[in-house]
Amino acid sequence: MSAADPLPTTRRFRVYRYKRGDPGWRFDPFEVPVGPRTTVLDALRWIQLHRDRTLALRHSCFHASCGTCGMQVNGREALACVTLADPLGSTITVEPLANIPVLTDLVVDMGQVFARFPDEIGTVRMSEKPSRASPPDGIDTYERFEDCIECGLCLSACPVSATSDAYVGPAALAAAQRLLEEPRGVDPERILDWAGDPAGAWRCHVAFECTEACPSNVRPAERIMALRGALAAGRRTVATVTPG
Amino acid sequence: MSGQELPGTERRDDQGPVLRKGVGIPTSGWFDPRGRALGGFAFAVNRVTGLGLVAYLYLHLAVLSMLLRGGSAWSGFLRLATSWLFLSLDVLLIFGILYHGLNGIRVALVGSGIVADRQKALWWALGVIGTLALAFSAIHIYGSR
């Protein structure tokens, strides 16, 4: 904090708490000093350091790349590392993601999210950015990582996932659509069969909350619609969805 | 550590709670007006109007069953049916039918991938049509008194 920054004000954080073996969950209140650039993750780490070392949360990269600090802040899905606390009001409620079993405090069982993805999911894609650039010797083409950071925010925001645990959810279906955009040897029929399951693309109720929640502009809902278009028309290819 | 388990090992496979968003007892999961975007709002209202229309169907059958109790019972109901309150419920019914039907068209067009990236524009366009149709219906319903 520089000398020009205003002094921090105190905000009340209501933090969801649950440990295995507890009879139920509860909210614990914490008064936390918050400056104009304090993120929710900064505040939670302050609580860990100064008030309660048993508060469990998951984080890694601090810049919205890893997707590990996904949680609900004032009822909306957010990555805590890039969510400023200052504009969130005098009382800030922090909860784990919805629709995913809680392991402890703000940590959910992401294994249950990853298990929903198609087995063939890719992690890299052809890069569309440096189309005019020449790759260095020994490299055929540029590749880059997929946009989806597998944070689980879309699954938490989805109202259909809230009523059906069988629904595979937006992230897995968006990954399936990406596989069909760029199959890299994957059998499109198998992916379309998987997506056409009653618990797959047709289970979506077009609320588009996944697209609103996605911090990587993957546009999962539009990808689900592209899958449906292919399924309805009996095509083996999908319409391309450009990241927002 | 041989032969000894770490504390808490016996609870490692315990399933923790699953948070559901929304309001209601138990928490509905799908109805959460806090900070929803247009698509989520459209979805929630669609479900509420759908439930309302199902409830109305049974109410309608119950009202028609008055005919079995003779003309005087039906005449009594007709006096009630022309009151402002009852006519307002008719307008609410028309709203439910229009919203559910027009949003159903939107969901069909978006959900089949025909206009997947125009869901908000479609909601507003059909909303204008629905509002005009509702206003027309309301004028005729209240004018029938």
- Picking from B8, B18, B36, the nearest residue to A100 by CB comes out as B18
**Each residue's pLDDT tens digit, A187-236:** 999 999 999 999 999 999 999 999 999 999 999 999 999 999 999 888 88
A219, A241 Cβ separation under 8 angstroms = yes
Neighboring chain B residues of A20 at a CB cutoff of 8 Å? 8, 11, 14, 16
Low-confidence ranges of chain A (pLDDT < 70): 1-7, 129-131, 244
Q: Which two tokens stand for residue A234?
A: 């009996």
Give the torsion sign (CA, A62, A68, A69, A73).
Answer: positive
What SS3 class is residue B102? helix
* Residues of A in Cβ contact (< 8 Å) with B14: 20-21
> Given CB atoms, is B8 within the 8 Å cutoff of chain A?
yes
Structural domain for B116, as ranges: 36-143
List the structure tokens of B11: 């609870």
Residue B18 located in a structural domain? no
Q: Model confidence over A66-87: pLDDT tens digits?
A: 999 999 999 999 999 999 999 9
Best of B103, B117, B126 to disrupt the A interface (most A CBs within 10 Å) is B117
List the domain boundaries for chain A.
9-108, 111-233
B113 close contact with A: CB closer than 8 A: yes
Between helix B119-143 and helix B84-111 the angle, nearest 10°, is 160
Burial state string for A192-203 with b = 16 or more CB within 10 A and e = fewer than 16: bebbeeeebbbb
Q: Is B10 a member of any domain?
A: no
Residue B39 contacts A where some CB pair is shorter than 8 Å: yes
* Residue B66 is assigned to a structural domain of this protein: yes
CATH of residue B129's domain is 1.20.1300.10
Residue B143: burial class (beta carbons within 10 Å; 0-12, 13-18, 19+): exposed
CB contact under 8 A, A98 and B20: yes
Nearest to B17 among A18, A205, A206 (CB): A18
Identify whether B14 is part of a domain. no
B2 lies in some domain: no
Instruction: Find out whether A132 and B51 touch, Cβ atoms under 8 Å.
Output: no
Residues A93, A73 contacting (CB under 8 angstroms) = yes
| Residue B2, pLDDT above cutoff 60 | no
What six digits make up the tokens of A90? 């005098």
Q: With CB atoms and an 8 Å threshold, state whether B8 touches A24.
A: no
- Say if B95 falls within a structural domain: yes
Q: Which of B11, B36, B43 sits opposite A206 (nearest CB)?
A: B43
Q: With respect to residue B6, please indicate whether it lies within any of the assigned structural domains.
A: no
Contact A159 B43 (CB under 8 A): yes
Task: Write the pLDDT tens digit of every residue in B70-108.
Answer: 888 788 888 888 888 889 999 999 999 999 999 999 999
Q: Are A88 and A74 in contact (CB under 8 A)?
A: yes
Which superfamily does CATH assign the domain made up of A9-108 to?
Answer: Beta-grasp domain (3.10.20.30)
Distance in Å from the first CA to the final CA of chain B: 86
Asked if A225 lies within 8 A of B113 by C-beta distance, the reply is yes
Q: What is the pLDDT of residue B24?
A: 60
A interface test, pick of B18, B41, B109 with most A CB neighbours within 10 Å: B18
Fold classification of A111-233 is Fumarate Reductase Iron-sulfur Protein; Chain B, domain 2 (1.10.1060)
- Whether residue B48 lies within 8 A of chain A, CB to CB, comes out as no
A40 CA to chain B: closest CA distance, Å?
18
Residue A8 is predicted with a pLDDT of 78
Fold match flag (A9-108 vs A111-233) = no
- Cβ-Cβ contacts under 8 Å, A109 against chain B: 16
Is it the case that residue B1 has pLDDT exceeding 50? Answer: no
In chain A, which residues have their Cβ closer than 8 Å to the Cβ of B8? 20-21
Answer for the pair A85, A38: CB distance below 8 angstroms, yes or no.
yes
C-alpha radius of gyration, chain A, whole number: 20
What's the confidence (pLDDT) of residue A130? Answer: 64
Give the helix/strand (H/E) hosting A55: none
* Closest of A129, A126, A124 to residue A140, by C-alpha: A126
Q: Do B116 and A229 touch (CB under 8 A)?
A: yes
